[in-house]
Amino acid sequence: MRQSITLALATIAGVFAAPTTYSHVGGNSTIEGQGDFFWGGAVQEGPQGTGWNFVQGSVVVPNFKGGDPRQSANMWVGIDGRYCSSAILQTGLVAYGDGSFWLWTEWWKNEMQNYESGLTFSPGDTLRFTVHAQSTTSGTTTVENLSTGQWVSENYTSENDFPLCETDAEWILEDWTQGGVPVPLYNWGTISIFDTIAKNPNGQVTAAGADIVNININGQTLTQSNVQSDGTRYFEQGSLTRLPPSAEKAITPFEVHIPQKRTKTPLRIDSPQDIHFVSLFSEKKDAIPLILLHGWPGNFLEFLPILELLRNNYTPETLPYHVIVPSLPGYAFSSPPPLDRDFRTGDVARIFNRLMQDLGFGNGYVVQGGDIGSKVARAMAVEYESCKVNYCIMPEPQGIVDTLSQPEKQGLKRTADFVRLGSSYALQQATKPSTLSFALASNPLSLLAWIGEKFLDWTDKDPPMDTILESRFTSGNVGTHEDPKSHINKPFGFSWFPKELAPTPRSWAATTGNLVFYRQHDAGGHFAAMEQPEVLLQDIQEFISQVWE
């Protein structure tokens, strides 16, 4: 079960001098619960040599202000500290009464310190704290903002003066001291440290069954700590807990008013394909044709923010691009793929290349895509001379040296987590799509439950309801490209977003073709055109300025 530690603070009485510097108590002045105890929470313990080498927990950044900045409370996770007072590897968040915060890391008994690179966060963001001891004298602390995809870390090496015992795994709320005297403890009310994990060589546990400790100062117990399960298993329940707030919107009728077109494009002589697209045409003579391709579970609505930016920034006479946003076959108002033969990404590429030719852009165009759209873009770049490409996903290459940056490594971890915990939907859709379609097409709430969780999990922020529910028009599916490793002999670019399902490292991208543009961003995910339209548009424009002649 998913475990959380709930710490409720009692009203704090007494006023202490505001210190100019703060310090941890470290080993508390207590034996078996007797005497002052300056921190409270949960401790998983074991005899020396148990080998707790990994502790993790998450908190939601509290939202308060207007209090006394001299008051504070300190939440952290760490290894050792209760029964082993020779060292503590820990990281945490200090909250002050005025609503300010301090993110810190420490190998105690060394001094606490800031992370070398700052981490941006706001009230309501979820921060995940991790300490990982590679040995008793080396380790790493990491803080991740799960709401933005950003993170910071600190490495410790050769801490021979203060070796860990690795006997305690801890999730803690602490008061500060100065000269052994506690400072004013800010009342956080109730704070939950959730998604608790502790690892040793024998396996992994949560905070369940941990010893409970409460802050006790001058005979007054100031916290009420407990470990509770919120009923969520490690394999999460999915949409169940997030569906109710969106249900009313899902069953309320809505209309989408946008300019749109349909055109027939030959798939083969006896089987024309109806392709729906939205467009923004320029009156500029040298305007560059640009086709933008969505994926699953997206649709053409993803790109409307980019079209609005272009419409607001340019007049028809100055617009530098002809922008075409088609719906993939079987999506929105495009007709579904044929059922009497195999239909693959290469077929979609051929249809869209023909679409661009029929629109008068046979002399050259730029294509951008994400998810399935990126595979179509790759196929168009490989097969058709008039195509240049900027796309978003590619496979792992073979035989390259591991020169990955830390954000890229975090991205690959996200990929592994997705494959293990979030990819089963694809197998169902690929093998029994009709079975699923009857259940989803009968009710918009069913569709919301299936698709909505993807938009929530794969993005930095919740998308508009109509963007999710437009997918109810989808009546088909698109297969995979026969050869995803086809080498691109055209200039191509890549925009890296941290909450993408499979954020591709630069070194991997460079093995697949003529990479001329690569940019890494701090925010954004699988639906970049919708989440970060200004950022993606700027990338596309810079890429085009480099490659278009």
Dihedral angle, C-alpha 136, 137, 138, 144, nearest 10 °: 70
Q: Which of 159, 166, 174, 500 is catalytic?
A: 174
Strand partners, 299: none
pTM over 0.85: no
Element housing 127 (H / E): strand 126-135
Phi first, then psi, for residue 186 (nearest 5°) are: -75, 140
Strand ranges (DSSP E) for 297-430? Answer: 321-326, 365-369, 387-391
Decide if 154 is catalytic: no
92 and 104 Cβ atoms separated by less than 8 Å: yes
Tell me how far CA of residue 35 lies from CA of 10, 41, 471, in angstroms.
18, 17, 62
CA 182 remoteness from chain centre: 38
Structure tokens at 427: 């197998």
Gyration radius of the chain over CA positions: 27
Q: Which amino acid is at 3?
A: Q
Q: Whole-angstrom Cα distance, residue 75 to residue 129?
A: 10
Quote the pLDDT of residue 324: 92
Q: Whole-angstrom Cα distance, residue 129 to residue 196?
A: 10
* Residue 86 DSSP symbol: S
- Check if 3-234 and 238-549 are the same fold: no
Does a cis peptide bond (omega within 30 degrees of 0) precede residue 316?
no
The domain ranges of the chain are 3-234, 238-549
Quote the pLDDT of residue 291: 93
Structure tokens at 181: 């005297």
Phi first, then psi, for residue 103 (nearest 5°) are: -95, 125
Q: Which amino acid is at 455?
A: F
Tell me how far CA of residue 209 lies from CA of 42, 114, 305, 487, in angstroms.
9, 33, 50, 54
Q: Please list the alpha-helical segments (H only) found in 143-267.
A: 244-251
Structure tokens at 436: 């699923």
238-549: CATH class? alpha beta
Quote the pLDDT of residue 532: 80
* Residue 349 DSSP symbol: H
- Please count the helices (runs of H) and the strands (runs of E) in the chain: 12, 27
Quote the pLDDT of residue 241: 44
* Tens-level pLDDT at each residue, the chain (549 residues): 445 555 554 433 322 222 233 444 444 333 233 345 567 788 888 765 668 999 999 988 887 666 677 777 788 899 998 778 789 999 999 888 788 888 999 998 888 898 877 899 988 889 999 999 999 999 999 999 988 888 999 999 989 899 999 999 998 887 766 666 666 666 666 778 888 889 988 888 888 878 877 777 666 666 666 766 543 333 344 444 444 444 444 444 444 444 555 555 554 434 567 888 888 899 999 999 999 998 887 788 888 888 889 988 999 899 999 999 999 988 888 888 877 777 888 889 999 999 998 888 988 899 988 878 888 888 888 887 766 655 444 444 555 555 677 777 777 776 677 766 667 777 777 777 777 777 777 776 777 777 777 766 666 565 555 555 554 444 333 333 334 445 667 778 888 777 776 677 777 777 777 788 888 888 877 777 777 888 888 888 888 888 787
The answer regarding whether domain 3-234 maps to CATH 2.20.25.10 reads no
Quote the pLDDT of residue 238: 47
Owner of token pair 């970049």: 528
175 and 92 Cβ atoms separated by less than 8 Å: no
Quote the pLDDT of residue 233: 32
Q: Whole-angstrom Cα distance, residue 374 to residue 504?
A: 12
